[in-house]
A and B are shown apart, each in its own frame.
Chain A
């Protein structure tokens, strides 16, 4: 008699198990490559979970605010001194800024440069949940289709860009953070003499940092540079702060380098965000100088434009 006696039907169970494993593997690659979609399942999960997540996150926020308040009382004296000196510095900068704004306005008028101040319609939302998985970085906010939130809207805080809306349910929406490894945002160096453009993507090695990738080796980018959105691609408006360059690393390939950025937004303490519902301006033009056309050409252009009417 054999010592190991198989239960009747255990073979069948193994077949079922193998079949399920295979299906799951196919599902992973199918969904990830965008071949299939699971309709509604994600929205249903979000709709069911969001009220509970809302309650739990308010409780945990309350606890955290309590503990931070205690810490703030302890450090208030030191902070007060620091803030005073910062105010002094800011006052000086403000004087300079007023001068520069006036000059800028004057030069705009001289050039006939047309750029309306971008106006955003913002909807404030509360962060009710974070990503339960450690490989991706998303958050859930408490606004959805009822508040006219739609897919691909940009999400910001006063500090800078948070990410974009990737899926919307009735009363909640999922936002993919710029930290996520699938996220990619067009960015450029804010420094006027540089304006190097690159792609900002999640850092695969550190969840709290982002990388500006695909920069040529000889590009003018240094540590401490501020990076802002370039507005290319259409999802994100131009000029929203992304982060500061902390480190520049040469790519193994030899032609490119990448910069490791510290994001402007403190993602550890994300409680409230604003969703840009509408921005009242045509997609911003990249800063390039218009070619100066000879007088004859100019008339030709006007003529043809007039003729087409």
Chain B
């Protein structure tokens, strides 16, 4: 199968899971960002070009499915894909700490980018309070998911190589 189709299927399945099962398991309305973990892991394995592409489509799917602020997640996930894709040559891809550290950094980065976009759009909120209410639970959820997702993406990557 073509890699493009495989990655599209991965993204769509992640989106469906994120909007149903993972959205049910929420803390104060905050739930895991499965797509972010997929973008981070696949960019770390495949490089920045792939990272930008998968970030773009993951963000677009998420924005269209949530029907609001179209472009917000496209921008943040594209940036995350590009930045983590740049690190592709510099990291040890099988180290178990890699997904944990990278997903934490990506969650913080992603929250920060989206918070800035929301502020620029004219929504006023307390940034510090927001970090505690939104980013901390998100960080915990994403950390739990980081390792299994990375394993899964790594396996898909190896299968596609063969």
Residues of chain A touching chain B, judged by Cβ–Cβ distance below 8 Å, are: 13, 17, 20-21, 24-25, 27-29, 31-32, 38, 41-42, 45-46, 49, 52-53, 56-57, 59-61, 64, 128-138, 140, 166-167, 174, 179, 181-182, 204-208, 267-268
Contact = CB atoms under 8 A, between A and B. Distances in A.
Contacts of A28: 69-72, 75, 117, 121
A60 B69 contact: no
A31 B129 contact: no
Nearest to B73: A133
Given A49-B15, A56-B17, A182 B68 contact: yes
Most buried by B among A21, A46, A182: A21
23 contacts: A20-B78, A24-B71, A24-B78, A28-B72, A28-B121, A29-B120, A32-B121, A38-B64, A49-B19, A52-B16, A53-B20, A56-B21, A59-B21, A129-B23, A132-B15, A132-B66, A133-B72, A134-B29, A135-B118, A138-B67, A181-B123, A204-B124, A205-B125
Interface string B110-148: 000010011011011110011001100010000000000
Output the residue of B20, B65, B71, B117 with the most chain A CB within 10 A.
B20
A46 B62 CA distance: 11
Interface in B10-57: 12, 15-21, 23-24, 26, 28-31, 33, 35, 49, 52, 56
A203 to B, nearest CB: 9
B106 interface: no
B149 interface: no
Given A28-B75, A132-B15, A135-B114, A268 B67 contact: no
What bracket does the count of chain B residues touching chain A fall in? 35 or more
Contacts of A208: 28-29
Contact of A13 (B49, B123, B125): B49
B70 A31 contact: yes
Given A28-B71, A130-B23, A134-B30, A206 B133 contact: yes
B67 A17 contact: no
Given A25-B71, A27-B70, A133 B56 contact: no
Contacts of B114: 135
B84 interface: no
B74 interface: yes
Contacts of B19: 49, 53, 129-132, 140
B55 to A, nearest CB: 11
A24 B18 contact: no
Given A28-B71, A135-B69, A204-B124, A268 B20 contact: no
A17 B12 CA distance: 24
Contacts of B66: 131-133, 136, 138
A53 B67 contact: no
A134 B33 CA distance: 8
Contacts of B108: none
Given A32-B69, A204-B123, A207-B28, A25 B20 contact: no
Q: Which 10 pairs across A and B sit closest by C-beta, in order of nearness?
A: A207-B29, A204-B125, A28-B71, A130-B23, A56-B20, A27-B71, A45-B64, A133-B66, A129-B19, A132-B19
B143 to A, nearest CB: 15
B30 A207 contact: yes
Given A27-B70, A49-B15, A132-B18, 20 more contacts: A20-B56, A27-B71, A28-B117, A32-B121, A38-B64, A49-B19, A53-B16, A56-B20, A57-B24, A130-B24, A132-B15, A132-B62, A132-B66, A133-B69, A133-B73, A134-B31, A135-B69, A138-B66, A207-B28, A207-B134
Contacts of A38: 64, 70
Nearest to B26: A268
B125 A24 contact: no
B88 interface: no
A133 B24 contact: no
B65 A49 contact: yes
